[in-house]
Chain A
Amino acid sequence: MNLLSILARRLPQLVAVLAGITIVTFLLLRLAPGDPARLLAGDRANAETIAAIRQQYGLDLPLWRQFLVYVGNLVTGDIGRSLRFQQPVADIILRFMWPTLFLAGYVVCLAVPPTIVLAIVGARRPGGLADQVIRTFGMVGLAIPVFWLGIMMSRLFGVTLGWFPVSGYGVGFVGHLHHLFLPALSTAIWMVPVLTQSLRAALIDRAGADFVTAARAQGASEREIFWKTILPNSVLPTLNLLGVMVAFLVGGTIIVETVYAVPGLGSLMVAALLGRDYYVVQGLTLVFALATVLVTLLVDLLTGLIDPRVRT
């Protein structure tokens, strides 16, 4: 029942978001300088060739007609063909989606356990030695640019020590774990401090809350109070933050994917933008929007499970 009501609220939102994004990306892409036909045919192609290619792909039509054709196809579920590769955009995106999803999941698995541990250790004695050390390291982790960290780790653990591959996605589940370890770690190092800060602050805040004092007065053990009262009440803001981050990861692993040559959505996006592969860029934007909406939906559902108040 409550799942349905959340869905009923979200569905119109989803449609509006997708429609808005479609129009904005369509316009931004077409208004940016650069011609896919030129990039396709190469430096030496002459003007007639470029014109012929533009005509073949309907790029010579007025903007509003191109948009109508695009939307018309979209409604029937066809997100178009790649201008560069002449393959359906959906096929291409599907192929590049799994490495990115795997990477996002991997990052979450690497980031969440240390976040919980570090936040609890830090919150135990706010301002204490452990807390200071964790915050200092957190600051460092946040300050290091991901691409720099990525390059350094690939040099150290990949080239010098030879422990991990420096590129690619690998074959099979273990292969994926092996190949994506460094990319996932470089991303997690940046995420953990943010999540830790959030969870630590919530823990400290909730530890002084009235309902904790009430529980203690009722004679509950400290262990019970922590696991049953403080923690569940503290994870919600962090869960929301994690949701935002995961949605961001699906579209935002561009840097790590480039540094580690992972064939994922991020590297596809960069190449499609540089090649002015309009329909691939538009398709990817839709996927990213969809991912954001789905992840926030999932977070809402989880929030409902954890916090009964949200359900009503």
Chain B
Amino acid sequence: MDLSAGRRKKSSCGAFGGAALLAMGLMVATPALAADVIRVASPYQTTTLDPMRSAAAGNIETYGQIYSRLLRRDPETGKLEPGLAEKWEVSQDGLTYTFHLRDAQFSDGSPITAADVAFSLERIHSDKKSAYPAPLGAVDSIKAGDDRTVVVTLKSPFAPFLGNVEIWNMGIVSKADVEKRGEDAFVKAPLTSGPYAVKEWKPNEKLVLEPNPHYWRKGYPKSDATVELMEIASPETRQAMIKAGEVDVMRSVPWAQIDDLKKVETIDMRLEPSTTIYMTLLSEKREPFSNLKARQAAAYAIDNKAMTKAVTHGYAQPANTTLPGSIEFHDKDNPGIPQDIAKAKQLLAESGMQGREVKILATADAAAQQLALLLQAQWQAIGLKPVIVNVDSGAWWDATGKGDYDAAANWWYNETPDPDLAVRWAVCGSCGSSSYNTFYENPKVDELVEQGTKEADPAKRAEIYKEIQKITTDEVAQIPLYYAPNAVAYSKRLQGIKLTPSLQWTLEDTTIAK
């Protein structure tokens, strides 16, 4: 076959030359980063701008940027300080809190009044769609006194109350705006009370924020840069983006990428303190783990020091109790449950659960997969029959919520340094959380949980929480694995930025080095 060679060569040169030319033309790099944008890449999505509607990770981080709360936490010291309330009084009996508001405005310049505050707190407290009313569980009534005074009365004294009104879902929204526009107010651009206002929201892609000119902290945000909270699911992509300078902050750096990012000169790879605890849920809804001895056997079978090292490359601390290691009243002296194979086998024999099948749920992320495999190997060694079932997070919540699983390694974090919400979430059987879907229930613990909030003396509270940790760790409400820091990579051109233990970015304190 002879197909006119000369003609063909020309056409092939043309095609390849064209492609090369196109590629070269495109390479004339447009500057990757304009100077006045701070870009944050996180896997966690913003799905609503309504602070009441969600307690999911991405939303939590967003709320902190667009809404102010009555109190705020100093990002350096972690101490509570005045927020929208410039001062407050607590009655002698600890039942009445009177907040005096400062002169502050929403992003459109309209004043933030006591009516707005009462409205915002009331919907968190009693609206059926409120995702997380627990922090206001002790509240009896919320009333606006005059324009500048809000009076909150409690059903019973509640030690952590001031800390609880600082939590991410306690953001103050505009009553007039929400009543006028309803849910639509939060679909595009709500009036905001925090350091930033919403410039543009592209769901599933990014949220663009601009400084709120009416923010009550004068001179903040320190930089007039716009902020883009970008949702990037793949960790490899986030890593490439920060290395290429396309973003300034990479949230959720996988353990395996930390050493690589540490080597990059322009990047500050940090492990920041968090209240995150990784642990294994055990379903007490069914055998084998409805049996106390089987749970203890499962705990004695596990070497969580070796697991921590293997999974986190030594960047996390092995956990010793059921509570996060950095919250107040965490008992550092609790010995936890060390690995003891002989004892594990003996306990399992006593429980009569040898050879039982253990269904381990695992989601797709690397840590969950590794933890599931390691649990499987260690439980197999003592005579259980573990099988791993892979699910996505929708199916994970479905199964754990019904107790339709045996074990599931996962993590949670506490929004405040105070342990009250943590114990209510993780080990309290009567607090609506089913002890984080384990269905663990011990009336003694539930009683201690209530006592812990009514007691004002820190020394006595410490004793109470020590007791809770002792009981729940010994009874294996969950198997504690490790306390993980937040692994975040920052571009060195940013100063003053961090992710606080309550998962809030200090963007308002951030400046860009020229």
Contact = CB atoms under 8 A, between A and B. Distances in A.
Contact of A43 (B3, B48, B55, B128): B55
Contacts of A36: 394
A110 B19 contact: yes
Interface string B184-222: 101100000000000000111100000000000000000
Nearest to A161: B27
B132 interface: yes
Given A92-B203, A259-B234, A271-B204, A53 B129 contact: yes
Nearest to A273: B392
A297 interface: no
A98 interface: no
B236 A151 contact: yes
Contact of B432 (A40, A47, A120, A123): A47
A34 B399 CA distance: 8
B132 A271 contact: no
Contacts of B236: 151, 259
A134 B266 CA distance: 42
Contact of A113 (B19, B233, B246): B19
B182 to A, nearest CB: 10
Interface string B233-257: 1101100110110110000000000
A49 B48 CA distance: 16
Main secondary structure of the interface of A (DSSP, over half): helix
Interface in A134-185: 151, 154-155, 158-159, 162-168, 170, 174-175, 177-178, 181
Interface stretch (A8-16, A69-77, A82-90, A302-310): A82-90
Contacts, number: 199
B237 A38 contact: no
Given A49-B129, A86-B183, A154 B237 contact: yes
B128 A41 contact: no
A216 to B, nearest CB: 11
A275 B15 contact: no
Contact of B241 (A40, A52, A261): A261
A42 B433 contact: no
Given A120-B3, A124-B1, A260 B392 contact: no
Contacts of B322: none
B204 A159 contact: no
Contact of B132 (A44, A113, A154, A181): A44
Contacts of B76: none
Interface string B53-75: 11111010000000000000000
A187 to B, nearest CB: 15
Given A87-B187, A259-B236, A270-B233, A40 B394 contact: no
A206 to B, nearest CB: 11
Nearest to A181: B26
B164 to A, nearest CB: 13
B79 interface: no
Interface string A17-46: 000000000000000111110111111111
A85 B263 CA distance: 39
Nearest to B58: A42
Interface stretch (B6-14, B350-358, B462-470): B6-14
Contact of B47 (A56, A84, A268): A84
A228 interface: no
A275 to B, nearest CB: 7
B27 A163 contact: yes
Given A222-B4, A223-B4, 4 more contacts: A34-B394, A42-B59, A259-B236, A270-B233
Which 3 pairs of residues, A with B, have the shortest CB-CB distance?
A34-B394, A42-B55, A42-B56
